């Protein structure tokens, strides 16, 4: 308790200082780093420091401790992270005793564990919510393994994982899926039930794994069918409980157990549309520093991430790269933690001097240099950006003469996007693939050297994946679909059902299948491939190779792009009203 008071005192002093002086970004980060460094330094020291823990075979609990399932992630050719979290009462802080608990693990070549290759014991510490991150090394490349955990007499579910091919190895094919945006209240995770049955090498999650809102604050057009437990989340315990609520879903657990995942966040893992050190609305520095520290720690605790991604001060290292032999290099980006504040008050707007300011950044200087350096050195058949927000130009205004652009997407950071496009154009690239989430709909676009010149070089393609559940059922098209496609001719496809995206990759061809559901507000929906597109590096761009009508799906809706933003505004108005009532 004394340590907690000292942290709160430090944050309070930092807040008092900042209220009485102008503060630039560097000053803020230095101050926030000191504050967060104290807090997380204590967590790391307490959970990993030299405390001897005896592995007690008699360790047992009245309730099953593996209620949140298992997961694997961040695969390498010789290593993978195995994850679980002990929680007998997952929605109320976990319910575990306030002490370190030894957790046994084993990994095998077969699901019956007759060919165990490694086993060991990891410590689940209360300082990290009794989560376990096992870095299993000395594995064989491009090999399937099965794993499980054990505490006392309780075994976890069995998970299946796979290592990456050896670095530089000639690889003929890759099959993976990517997903994003899974607002728990908006629908059931039917998509994950189907994904778990796919034959995939790995899965990418591109953000909005949880949502921060209180019950029925953010309401989908087709109504909320589940309820968030507890009010808007702000504290570490809040974020832990919200992650646990999402993780309790059996369909999500099945998809985690079926494949290794590579994850990155967007905004709702902390709060809607935050930008670096800048909260969205109505928070003091004190409140937001504490909130971001809590959110980052809880995210690490619930994801199969390496120790290199453990929060350090005010930061958490999430951008990283993965090489799938010589077939594809994946660059996993963080477009949230280092960005300049959104231009034009974060409202849909035409371009302005502010949004066109070349000093503004989306990735931050260090991450942008890292990306361009790695693209420069890459010799893979495909270079893939696994990231969060719409990359291609997208005018969703009433006309070309009255444009509206998202100030939260790459359209709000034109010079930052142009630096990447210019680099790719100079390198005469034709193998740049961008994977995107965030906007709760499927889109497919050619990436041009100049989006205003359809004859300019095609650098690659962007595939935007719809949400798992966010936004409710959706429809095949919206009221504004035809207009948006007409005034953005480089965009080749739109669809507004829920689901995920599956990709089949060879050295010469990239095939994308938009896997969709007709509804998520009740169980039982079948999965369909709404459309399939192929990109072949031949300067002809995306080619639709198949399409189908989705059984039981709505053909069209009255929704438009701005409706999603208005739903968030309504949620914030509800939060304000609740705050006034409690004050």
How far apart CA 388 and CA 438 sit, in angstroms, is: 6
Strand partners, 261: 73, 203
- Determine the pLDDT at residue 31: 54
Per-residue pLDDT of the chain (583 residues; tens, 9 = 90+): 443 344 444 444 444 443 333 444 445 444 555 444 444 544 544 444 434 445 444 578 989 999 999 999 999 999 999 999 999 999 999 999 999 999 999 999 999 999 999 999 999 999 999 999 999 999 999 999 999 999 999 999 999 999 999 999 999 999 999 999 999 999 999 999 999 999 999 999 999 999 999 999 999 999 999 999 999 999 999 999 999 999 999 999 999 999 999 999 999 999 999 999 899 877 887 889 899 999 999 999 999 999 999 998 778 999 999 999 999 999 999 999 999 999 999 999 999 999 999 999 999 999 999 999 999 999 999 999 999 999 999 999 999 999 999 999 999 999 999 999 999 999 999 999 999 999 999 999 999 999 999 999 999 999 999 999 999 999 999 999 999 999 999 999 999 999 999 999 999 999 999 999 999 999 999 999 999 999 999 999 999 999 999 999 999 999 999 999 999 999 999 988 888 887 6
Q: 62 with 187, same domain? A: no
- Determine the pLDDT at residue 283: 85
- Determine the pLDDT at residue 280: 86
Could you say which of 140, 162, 184 is where a domain stops? 162
Please state, as a whole number, how many other Cβ atoms lie within 10 Å of the Cβ of residue 167.
Answer: 13
User: 15 lies in which domain range?
Assistant: 7-50
DSSP E strand boundaries for 222-350: 260-263, 320-324, 328-332
Could you say which of 139, 162, 185 is where a domain stops? 162
Q: Are 233 and 215 in contact (CB under 8 A)?
A: no
Place of tokens 């965030």: 438
- C-alpha distances (whole Å) from 271 to each of 32, 146, 189, 239 are 18, 36, 22, 11
- For residue 335, tell me if it sits in a domain: yes
Q: 470 with 359, same domain? A: yes
How far apart CA 375 and CA 328 sit, in angstroms, is: 11
What is the total count of domains within the chain?
3
How far apart CA 308 and CA 518 sit, in angstroms, is: 40
- Determine the pLDDT at residue 26: 43
- For residue 144, tell me if it sits in a domain: yes
Return the structure tokens found at 495.
């669809």
SS3 (DSSP) at 484: helix
Strand partners, 461: 433, 446
Q: 324 with 380, same domain? A: yes
How far apart CA 389 and CA 400 sit, in angstroms, is: 22
DSSP type of residue 442 = E
How far apart CA 244 and CA 101 sit, in angstroms, is: 19
Q: 361 with 485, same domain? A: yes
Q: 122 with 253, same domain? A: no
- For residue 274, tell me if it sits in a domain: no
- For residue 136, tell me if it sits in a domain: yes
Q: 200 with 65, same domain? A: no
Between CA 113 and CA 471, with CA 198 as vertex, the angle to 5 degrees is 125
Q: Are 375 and 423 in contact (CB under 8 A)?
A: yes
How far apart CA 112 and CA 86 sit, in angstroms, is: 23
Q: Are 97 and 118 in contact (CB under 8 A)?
A: no
How far apart CA 290 and CA 36 sit, in angstroms, is: 8
Q: 108 with 200, same domain? A: no
Could you say which of 162, 197, 221 is where a domain stops? 162
- Determine the pLDDT at residue 441: 98
Q: 124 with 203, same domain? A: no
Q: 28 with 96, same domain? A: no
Q: 557 with 421, same domain? A: yes
SS3 (DSSP) at 436: strand
- Determine the pLDDT at residue 576: 87
- For residue 107, tell me if it sits in a domain: yes
Place of tokens 């420069």: 376
- For residue 255, tell me if it sits in a domain: yes
Q: 105 with 251, same domain? A: no
- For residue 277, tell me if it sits in a domain: no
Return the structure tokens found at 562.
């701005």
Q: Are 367 and 441 in contact (CB under 8 A)?
A: no
Strand partners, 204: 178, 262
SS3 (DSSP) at 505: strand
What's phi and psi for 329, nearest 5 deg?
-105, 125
Q: 24 with 78, same domain? A: no
Say which CATH number the domain at 88 has: 2.60.40.380
- C-alpha distances (whole Å) from 151 to each of 60, 65, 118, 145, 156 are 7, 8, 17, 21, 8
Say which CATH number the domain at 343 has: 3.60.21.70
- For residue 119, tell me if it sits in a domain: yes
């Amino acid at each position: 308790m004394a340590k907690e008071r000292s942290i709160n005192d430090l944050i309070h002093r930092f807040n008092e200082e900042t209220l009485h002086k102008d503060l630039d970004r560097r000053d803020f980060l230095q101050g926030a780093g000191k504050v967060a460094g104290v807090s997380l330094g204590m967590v790391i020291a307490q959970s990993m420091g030299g405390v001897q823990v005896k592995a007690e075979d008699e360790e047992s609990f009245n309730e099953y401790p593996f209620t949140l399932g298992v997961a694997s992630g961040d695969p390498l050719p010789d290593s993978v992270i195995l994850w679980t979290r002990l929680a007998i009462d997952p929605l109320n802080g976990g319910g575990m005793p306030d002490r370190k608990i030894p957790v046994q693990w084993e990994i095998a070549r077969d699901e019956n564990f007759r060919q165990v290759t490694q086993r060991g014991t990891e410590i689940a510490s209360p300082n990290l919510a009794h989560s376990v991150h096992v870095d299993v090394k000395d594995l064989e490349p491009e090999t399937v393994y099965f794993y499980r955990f054990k505490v006392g007499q309780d075994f976890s579910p069995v998970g299946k994982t796979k290592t990456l091919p050896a670095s530089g190895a000639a690889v003929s094919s890759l099959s993976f899926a990517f997903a994003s945006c899974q607002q728990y209240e908006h629908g059931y995770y039917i998509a994950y039930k189907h994904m778990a049955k796919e034959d995939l090498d790995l899965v990418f999650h591109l953000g909005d794994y949880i949502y921060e809102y209180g019950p029925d604050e953010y309401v989908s057009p087709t109504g909320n069918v589940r309820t968030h437990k507890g009010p808007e989340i702000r504290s570490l315990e809040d974020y832990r409980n919200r992650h646990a609520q999402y993780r309790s879903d059996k369909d999500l657990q099945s998809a985690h157990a079926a494949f290794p995942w590579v994850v990155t966040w967007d905004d709702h893992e902390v709060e809607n549309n935050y930008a670096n050190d800048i909260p969205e609305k109505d928070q003091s520095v004190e409140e937001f520093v504490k909130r971001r520290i809590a959110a980052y720690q809880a995210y690490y605790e619930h994801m199969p991430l390496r120790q290199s991604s453990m929060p350090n001060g005010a930061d958490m290292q999430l951008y990283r790269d993965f090489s799938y032999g010589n077939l594809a290099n994946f660059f996993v980006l963080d477009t949230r933690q280092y960005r300049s504040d959104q231009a034009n008050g974060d409202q849909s707007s035409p371009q302005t001097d502010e949004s066109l300011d070349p000093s503004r950044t989306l990735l931050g200087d260090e991450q942008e240099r890292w990306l361009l350096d790695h693209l420069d050195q890459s010799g893979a058949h495909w270079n893939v950006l696994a990231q969060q927000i719409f990359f291609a130009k997208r005018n969703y205004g009433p006309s070309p003469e009255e444009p509206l652009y998202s100030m939260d997407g790459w359209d709000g950071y034109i010079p930052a996007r142009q630096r990447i496009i210019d680099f790719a154009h100079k390198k005469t690239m034709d193998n740049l693939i961008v994977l995107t989430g965030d906007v709760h709909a499927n889109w497919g676009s050619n990436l041009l050297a100049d989006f205003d010149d359809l004859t300019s070089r095609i650098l690659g393609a962007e595939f935007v994946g719809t949400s798992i559940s966010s936004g409710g059922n959706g429809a095949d098209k919206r009221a504004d679909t035809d207009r948006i496609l007409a005034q953005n001719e480089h965009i080749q496809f739109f669809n507004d059902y829920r689901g995920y995206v599956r990709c089949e990759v060879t050295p010469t061809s990239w095939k994308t299948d938009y896997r969709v559901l007709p509804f998520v507000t009740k169980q039982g929906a079948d999965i369909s491939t709404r459309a399939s597109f192929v990109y072949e590096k031949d300067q002809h761009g995306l080619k639709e190779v198949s399409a189908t009508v989705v059984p039981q799906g709505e053909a069209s809706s009255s929704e438009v792009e701005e409706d999603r933003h208005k739903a968030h505004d309504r949620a914030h108005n509800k939060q304000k009203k609740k705050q006034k009532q409690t004050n």
